[in-house]
Structure 1
Amino acid sequence: MTDYRTLFDLQGRRALLLGAGGIGREAGLALAAHGAEVVCADRDPETAKATAEAITADGGLAGALALDVTEADALARHLDEVGDVDVAVLTAAMNVRKRLLDYTDDEFDRVVGLNLCGTFNVLRGVGARMVARGTGSIIAFSSIRARTVEPGQSVYAATKAALESLVRAAAVEFGEAGVRVNAIAPGVVETPLTAQIKADEDWYRAYATKGALGRWSVPSELAGAVVYLASDASSFVTGSTLSVDGGWTAVDGRFTPPT
């Protein structure tokens, strides 16, 4: 008989957090609160250290690691050093907000390099180790932009759509070994990366009123989805994209017609 009181229990599991700032920080705190040991990895060692310290200050178990997911060989070495991982959460991403005709080759390469190539590196590196063990859960962060696009979001949107395709393919290929792979697609989230939008009152309000809930989210509101997909509560969930977007993709247009 299933003990439903332990569905979200992560005691004895090790989680690798790839991208330890913003949403990643809250995900790490939530995973640790449910019992997981969290390895905080980030390109910026200070960000990884700060998140690890926040987890330990809250009574959790965590370590920090400087890691760039775009460097496949370095990622493989670090994964060997970290050892067995039960959960991997990939939040690392970047965006260059420009129209297609204004994009440079270098900007394209940087966005694709982190968002898509980095995802491929993580799925291949972490996936190989989880498949060999016969267990694990990989969670990659997508975006509403994988489905809904606005001017200036072309390359970012393309990488997120591709990420979701990679997640589905990995779920199919890793599933026989008992490894689950899923994506989370946030809507608009208040983080340092969206400070440009928040500084523009009209832009900020337009985004807030687009979703069904009429507001932005904060990073902590993504943490529950991470814990769910990391835990046994989602033991039969794989190849899925969980939208945590306040109803953004459910709303048709930005005008509420009279009824």
Structure 2
Amino acid sequence: MDYSRLFRLDGRRIAVVGGAGGIGREAARALAAHGAEVIVADRDEAGAAETVRLAGAGASPCALDVLDETALRRAAADWGPLDGLVATVGVNVRKRLADYTAEEFERVVALNLRAHFSLVRACAPGMAARGRGSVACLSSMRAFQVEPGQGVYAASKAGLIQLLRTAAAEWGPRGVRFNAVAPGVVRTPLTDQIAADPEWYDAYARASALQRWARADEIAGALVYLMSDASTFVTGSVLTVDGGWTAVDGRYDPAV
């Protein structure tokens, strides 16, 4: 084993779906920096193009609406054989359950769960045919800890973990790995609503062991790890990158 190359991704073709900004953008940049050929797929074509610019020569853009099943399957065919798939797409509508509309429920579940189901079905068979591949999707610490107003988001993220675990069981014998990354609070456009409320923002910062929010680039390393040979025996797992939020009760620090 050449440990100096444990995290290198030279010669590997990896699609980052949701790469136009936030965690997806930083993941694409990090993967490209480790030598991967990165496909930056997103409905936001301008954002994807900017990510490609930042990632450098090893990256290329792909216009894709993951909720369009036909377009997704066509894109997967165009990508050709993949060594890795990173999916960072997601949405949240913060409302209490009694206030949710059926349309809002469908919107959150469609992007946070059904789109990942479609991506797995489109990409995993090709990986299995080659006997190797790694899939990593963004879940959330909300899959484990909830609060009022996060019910549908939490349910979709918990469902994603179980979907990936099932995929790990079904495709594991053919060499394909599936894992989830569960971030804590990360400053991205998805958290603009919270950042706009100083009390809410500060409460979230105090809730973790590190007493702060994460930057999007602080999640990228976990995705590089799961795409690399450093994680060849890791599948069906959840890598929690939450600053200790789910490990500690940050509401009170007793004087003992």
Distance 2:244 2:250 in 1: 12
CA deviation string 1:43-90 (max 9, x = no partner):
11111111111112xxx4111011112222211111111111111000
Distance 2:246 2:85 in 1: 26
CA deviation string 1:178-235 (max 9, x = no partner):
1111000000001122122112111111100100011000000001101100000001
Q: Which consecutive unaligned segments of at least 5 residues does structure 1 have?
A: none
Is residue 149 of structure 1 aligned with residue 159 of structure 2? no
CA deviation string 1:76-112 (max 9, x = no partner):
1111111111110000000111000000011011111
Distance 1:252 1:13 in 2: 41
SS in structure 1 of the partner of residue 134 of structure 2: strand
Distance 2:250 2:22 in 1: 29
Given candidates 144, 160, 181, the residue that maps to 1:163 is: 160
Given candidates 77, 80, 89, the residue that maps to 2:77 is: 80
Contact 2:209 2:250 in 1 (8 A): no
Is residue 95 of structure 1 aligned with residue 81 of structure 2? no
**Residue in 2 aligned with 1:228?**
225
The aligned amino acid for 2:37 is: E
**Residue in 2 aligned with 1:53?**
53
Distance 1:97 1:123 in 2: 27
Tell me the number of residue pairs that the alignment of Structure 1 and Structure 2 aligns. Answer: 255
**Residue in 2 aligned with 1:112?**
109
SS in structure 1 of the partner of residue 239 of structure 2: strand
The aligned amino acid for 2:38 is: V
Matched residues, percent identical?
57
The aligned amino acid for 1:11 is: D
**Residue in 1 aligned with 2:11?**
12
Distance 1:179 1:104 in 2: 37
Distance 1:224 1:137 in 2: 15
Contact 2:11 2:35 in 1 (8 A): yes
Distance 1:256 1:128 in 2: 50
The aligned amino acid for 1:19 is: G
Distance 2:109 2:119 in 1: 14
Distance 1:177 1:242 in 2: 22
**Residue in 2 aligned with 1:126?**
123
Please report how far the alpha carbon of residue 252 of structure 1 lies from its aligned counterpart in structure 2 after TM superposition.
2.3
**Residue in 2 aligned with 1:254?**
251
Distance 2:52 2:75 in 1: 17
- TM (norm. structure 2) is 0.98
The aligned amino acid for 1:85 is: L
CA deviation string 1:84-141 (max 9, x = no partner):
1111000000011100000001101111111110010011111111111111000000
Contact 2:65 2:71 in 1 (8 A): yes
Distance 2:175 2:187 in 1: 35
Distance 2:196 2:107 in 1: 25
How large is the Cα RMSD of the aligned pairs? Answer: 0.9
Distance 1:193 1:73 in 2: 27
The aligned amino acid for 1:182 is: N
- TM (norm. structure 1) is 0.97
Distance 1:253 1:98 in 2: 24
**Residue in 2 aligned with 1:28?**
28
Distance 2:101 2:35 in 1: 45
The aligned amino acid for 1:181 is: F
The aligned amino acid for 1:3 is: D
Contact 2:208 2:250 in 1 (8 A): no
Distance 2:241 2:182 in 1: 6
Please report how far the alpha carbon of residue 253 of structure 1 lies from its aligned counterpart in structure 2 after TM superposition.
5.0
Alignment of 1:151-230 (within 5 A): 151-230=148-227
The aligned amino acid for 1:254 is: R
Distance 2:93 2:230 in 1: 36
